[in-house]
Amino acid sequence: MMLPSLITLLTLGSMATAAPTARARDVVSRRLLIGGPSQILTANFNGSSFEITGKNVTAGTAPSWMRLKASTNTLYAVDENSNSLNQFKFDDITSGEFAYASSVTGSSGVVFLEFNKDKTRLVGAAYGSAMIDVWDVSADGAPKLLKQIKVEGPLGPNQQAHHPHQALLDPTGRFIILPDLGGDQLLVLDTKDDKYEITETITLFPGAGPRHGGFITSGDKTFYTVACELSNKVILYGLDYTGDGLAFKEISTQSTYGAQFPPANATSAAAGAVAIANNKDVYISNRLSGNETDSIAHFVFNANTTSLTFSNTVSSHGILPRDISLSIDEDQSLLFVANQAGDNGLVALRRCPVSGKLDANPVATKPFTELIALGLENEPNVGPQFVQEI
């Protein structure tokens, strides 16, 4: 017993003298923003563990999506359970501490926020009320509601309402694309000259249920890929910018699970979030698969053949990975996962910057039990719904 521990001590001692340069190079402190039932958290991630640095706990709220405007240190947070858009302020983002600033009222059930190109407008996708909100956020104060657009058109099979699920600004900074889960359609919102009008609707196959998408650019070509929650399909489109319009050309439709790894329960399976790295690597969270844990699928876009090909799948190390997002270093070397249930609420997975493959063994995890708001201990699926490095 004595000898091994002495050797261990000596080894550690010699490592400690050699360590500072290695540490300085390898250890990057990252700041994360986390949202979930009743709370907003900030955390430091030092490469091996997550440490909570700030929080706002408000019973009954669901800040499931947020956007930070760095120029004013303002955080805009949805409350999926009400019609409030809440603002918070950071004195200094590096501290992780933030304070509540104000609330304004728009449509209810907003689940996603997106800025326009110069961050003077904020667009909200209101899943819960089939509306699109357009806010003026040009001033450093409470947002002003400029416009509310009702989502219209035929509904998908067995759907009772339209459900805009995401609003994502395209690479040109002119159009915002909104997948409508209830209407099996994609909506194109034109931001030019402050118009904010739906100029195009793209119809998907009945029962598609589009949820979250992402853009890929290659040379002068642009592509859009969308993960469909109700059908567990990922669709790849080529985009054509035609003067004032945006045309979608479908290239492929395939399972978000790939061909080899079907969900154990196809009835509950519900594709979730999309993250795209390097204009090539497409990651999709597959939720409620019925397997022991849920998973993150990796697809590779090949610009030469304009194809999207399934690569592999890794465990999300939890259940219901509602959100996934990439670290903000140049290599986007990590993928963060927010699991609403299962053992691990937060997970960091290493990503190979060349192949795009995710390492199946996490770099770090944080138990679900350490990530739920006080009072929700006995409720299901109350883990993180949103994670992003800021």
Ligand X SMILES: *[C@@H]1O[C@H](CO)[C@@H](O)[C@H](O)[C@H]1NC(C)=O
- Residues engaged in binding ligand X (CB under 6 A): 27, 46-49, 56, 58, 61, 86, 100, 103, 261-262, 264-265, 267-268, 290-291, 295, 302, 304, 313
List of residues 6+ apart from 76 with CB closer than 8 A: 66, 67, 68, 69, 85, 86, 87, 113, 122, 137, 143
User: Which residue, 247 or 264, is less far from ligand X as judged by CB?
Assistant: 264
Rounded least distance, CB 294 to ligand X, Å:
9
Least Cβ distance, residue 139 to ligand X (angstroms): 20
**What one-letter code names the amino acid at 345?**
G
Nearest residue (CB) to ligand X, 61 versus 166: 61
Based on CB atoms, which residue is closest to ligand X, 172 or 369?
A: 369
Which helix (H) or strand (E) element contains residue 282?
Answer: strand 281-287
17 or 304: CB nearest ligand X: 304
49 or 203, CB closer to ligand X? 49
Q: How far is the CB of 307 from ligand X (least distance, A)?
A: 10
Both tokens of 103, joined, read 């609330």
CB of 2 to ligand X, least distance (A): 26
What is the closest distance, in whole angstroms, from the C-beta atom of residue 178 to ligand X in the complex? 25
Q: Are strands 121-126 and 185-190 parallel, antiparallel or unpaired?
A: unpaired
Shortest spacing between CB 120 and ligand X, in angstroms: 24
Tokens 């609330």 belong to which residue?
A: 103
| DSSP state letters, 290-330 | SSSS-EEEEEEEETTTTEEEEEEEEE-SSEEEEEEEE-SST
DSSP assignment of 224-245 equals: EEEEETTTTEEEEEEEEEETTE
Q: How far is the CB of 386 from ligand X (least distance, A)?
A: 14
- Tell me which residue of 322, 386, 320, 324 sits closest to 351, measured CA to CA: 324
Considering the complex, state which of residue 14 and residue 355 has its C-beta at the smaller distance from ligand X: 355
Q: What angle do CA 282, 69, 372 make, to 5 degrees?
A: 70
Q: Which is nearer to ligand X, 49 or 94 (CB)?
A: 49
